[in-house]
Amino acid sequence: MSALATAIYRGRERVPALDPADRGLAYGDGLFETLRVSAGRLPWWDAHLARLANGARRLGLPAPDAAWLAGEASALLAGAPAEAVLKLVLTRGSGGRGYSAPDAAVPTVVLSVHALPAPFDGPLSLRWCETRLAPQPRLAGLKHLNRLEQVLARAEWSDPAVHEGLMLDAAGRVTCATAANLFALVGGRWITPALHEAGVAGIARGWVLANEPGATEAELWPADVESAEALFLCNAVRGILPVGRLGQRTWAPHPALDDLRRRLRRDVPAF
Amino acid sequence: MSALATAIYRGRERVPALDPADRGLAYGDGLFETLRVSAGRLPWWDAHLARLANGARRLGLPAPDAAWLAGEASALLAGAPAEAVLKLVLTRGSGGRGYSAPDAAVPTVVLSVHALPAPFDGPLSLRWCETRLAPQPRLAGLKHLNRLEQVLARAEWSDPAVHEGLMLDAAGRVTCATAANLFALVGGRWITPALHEAGVAGIARGWVLANEPGATEAELWPADVESAEALFLCNAVRGILPVGRLGQRTWAPHPALDDLRRRLRRDVPAF
């Protein structure tokens, strides 16, 4: 998606261009966040910043100052559509000898505003992806910049009638969609895969776990998903999206899902 | 490492800067090569280009025209030191909606010249890394841009007396060093880990497999490495580097290793 506006920083200094020696490009040595802009504001800002800070800690990256970042994001959004997407990339910056990080890394921040993606028309139609997610506990849950598995999985289909693909880990457990988390209603309870070895701990996923009584993390196998009472995907740009089809299996709208979406919309009107 | 000279291309068009929406930064959606420049030339050019083409095929990336690339590399090297390093980054370029690649991807190429790294002083001293390599057959062997595992492994030590770290895969098999391949002399035969699930198929590794009778790929476990008659690391920048120490275990110079280095030097005088 091409950006409506972009701002690049080395530390807190605005710079005209990305250094081609940036470790974000060289090694994917960084993190990103994709935030929904609604009515010109960022409803889940605190949750995104908390995830970014946690990821930075786990990768040993200096996290940018939250107040400074909020000011820069506001300035960039001032000229942007009221409904949009803000992308934030944080990298370890330039330099270092090979994989070894520089002693005093000056992080790079890239803020960019993008048009909202076109809404999906009706319930989602899903497929199973063949590309598996490799188990890597050091990176599991993080929204880091090493995303070739998702690129390969998304390249498995081009049929526009298929909206998303579900990915398994190497052991065959269901983990997530290429760009969303999954919840399955099993025995009247919303279950989402635990992310100890792979996957991204999404912000919308966190909202559901915090706000839906009984929603929990657990192992989910393909048979659990295919026999679920209802399914949805969620992410911070599109909110909660009911699944209507997975391969040959179909689902009718489910009242528990309608109720959950209503509560999300009450909390964040954009969704 | 900061570059002595850099050239950035969108397709074959030279551009002044990297697009901050480049998929190389966003997802690590690309490949790289690190080439030794010696006497102003690129002794392993054909092998690097073959690996790049193979990686591009596996990722579904358009590979740049080899003759065009050779011309651009020569032009950049014309103003550079005769002994140096040329880095080549190839990405899927800008755009696409999320992970989905654009229909007609215009790849990005970044060529940069760097000073030779300081030579290691004497035989290498190694350690074991705790960060494991996740098994991912779709990416195994490729020199792709998703290198957070190597960054995390290299961050495990800062003692300058330790030159490199050996990495295991999730099953505990020895795979490689953070930025080099490993060979172990076992029963009079040079063995290097097979790379079906992780690791980079290095160009120097390929030279050894092609030029050393009996050298072969096989599973190597830590105990095999620690009891080996001799060990070396190799990569395309530094050639073959004897290992003198791994943790508490030490090795004296081995005639088979001296002989192999002589033959490499005859073929590629830089090494």
Domains of chain B listed by start with CATH number: 5-115 (3.30.470.10), 124-267 (3.20.10.10)
Size of interface A-B (CB pairs under 8 A): 179
Residue from A146, A150, A158 to probe the interface with B (highest B Cβ count within 10 Å): A146
The yes/no answer to whether this complex scores an ipTM above 0.85 is yes
At A77, the amino acid letter reads L
Return the DSSP state at A88. Answer: E
Q: Which residue of A has its CA nearest to B23?
A: A25
- B186-236 pLDDT per residue, tens: 999 999 999 999 999 999 999 999 999 999 999 999 999 999 999 999 999
In sequence order, the 6+-apart residues with CB closer than 8 A to the CB of B7 are B14, B72, B75, B76, B110, B111, B112
Identify each DSSP E strand in chain B by its residue range.
5-10, 13-15, 30-37, 84-91, 108-115, 124-128, 164-168, 174-177, 181-186, 189-193, 216-218, 230-235, 239-246, 249-250
* B118 or A7: which leads in pLDDT: A7
> What integer best gives the mean pLDDT of chain A?
96
Do B20 and A28 make contact, defined as CB atoms within 8 angstroms? no
Q: Are A153 and A178 in contact (CB under 8 A)?
A: yes
Structure token pair of residue B195: 């790379």
CB contact under 8 Å between B60 and A155, yes or no, is yes
C-beta atoms surrounding B115 within 10 Å: 14
In the numeric block, the tokens 């120097």 are attached to B204
**Contact residues on chain A for B97, CB-CB shorter than 8 A:** 1, 117
Could you tell me if B197 and B189 are in contact, meaning their C-beta atoms sit under 8 angstroms apart?
no
CA A32 to chain centre: 9
- The mean per-residue pLDDT over the stretch A198-213 comes to 97
Option in A18, A29, A138 nearest B20 (CB): A18
> Reduced to 3 DSSP states, what percent helix, strand and coil does chain B have, rounded to the nearest 5?
25, 30, 45
Q: Residue B116's pLDDT is what?
A: 94
Pick from B96, B112, B155: CB nearest A101: B155
DSSP B106: -
pTM of the model: 0.97
Task: Give which of A5, A187, A173 is closest to A79, Cα–Cα.
Answer: A5
| pLDDT for position A119 | 86
Strands (E), B178-261: 181-186, 189-193, 216-218, 230-235, 239-246, 249-250
Distance CA B85, CA B1 (A): 10
Best to test chain A binding among B15, B131, B145 (most A CBs inside 10 Å): B145
Tell me: pLDDT of B64 over 70: yes
pLDDT confidence band for A118 (50 / 70 / 90): confident
Work out the widest C-alpha separation in chain A, in whole angstroms. 56
Q: Can you count the helices (H) and strands (E) in chain A?
A: 7, 14
- What is the arithmetic mean of pLDDT over A154-174? 96
**Identity at B42, one-letter amino acid code:** L
| A269 Cβ contact partners less than 8 Å away, ≥ 6 residues apart | A38, A39
Does the pLDDT at position A121 exceed 80? no
Q: Are B99 and A147 an interchain contact pair (Cβ–Cβ within 8 Å)?
A: yes
Q: Which residues of B touch A22 (CB under 8 A)?
A: 18, 25
Q: Regarding predicted confidence, which is higher, B146 or B79?
A: B146
Residue-level pLDDT at B234 = 98
Given a cut of 90, whether residue A104 has pLDDT beyond it is no
Residue of chain A whose Cα is closest to the Cα of B24: A25
Average pLDDT over residues A112-122: 90
pLDDT value at residue B69 = 98
What are the pLDDT digits (tens) for A54-83? 999 999 999 999 999 999 999 999 989 999
Give the residue from chain B lying closest to A157, CA to CA. Answer: B100
Instruction: Give the model's confidence band at B104: pLDDT under 50 very low, under 70 low, under 90 confident, else very high.
Output: confident
State the pairing for strand pair B189-193/B216-218: parallel
- Mean pLDDT of all residues belonging to chain B: 96
Please state, in angstroms and rounded to a whole number, the distance separating the CA atoms of residues A14 and A9: 4
A222/A181 Cα distance (integer angstroms):
15
Is residue B85 a contact partner of residue B37, using CB atoms and an 8 Å limit?
Answer: yes
DSSP string over A182-232: EEEEETTEEEEE--SSSSB--HHHHHHHHHSTT-EEE---HHHHHT-SEEE
**B28/A145 Cβ within 8 A:** yes
Residue in A59, A135, A148 closest to B28 by CB: A148
**DSSP code at position B60:** T
Given this model, what pLDDT does residue A127 score?
Answer: 98
Q: Does residue B118 have a pLDDT over 90?
A: no
pLDDT confidence of residue A120: 83
* B110 → chain A, closest CA residue: A20
Joined tokens for residue B127: 């350690």
Average pLDDT (B163-170) is: 97
Name beta bridge partners: A230. A185
Residues of chain B found within 8 Å of residue A29, distances taken between Cβ atoms = 147-148, 151
Q: Nearest-CA distance from A255 to chain B in Å?
A: 31
> Residue A54 corresponds to which tokens in the numbers above?
């946690």
Residues forming beta bridges with residue B33, ordered by sequence position: B88
CB contacts, 8 Å: B16 with chain A: 17
pLDDT band at A1 (very low <50, low <70, confident <90, very high): low
Work out the pLDDT band at B1, boundaries 50, 70, 90.
low
Shortest CA distance from A23: residue in chain B = B25
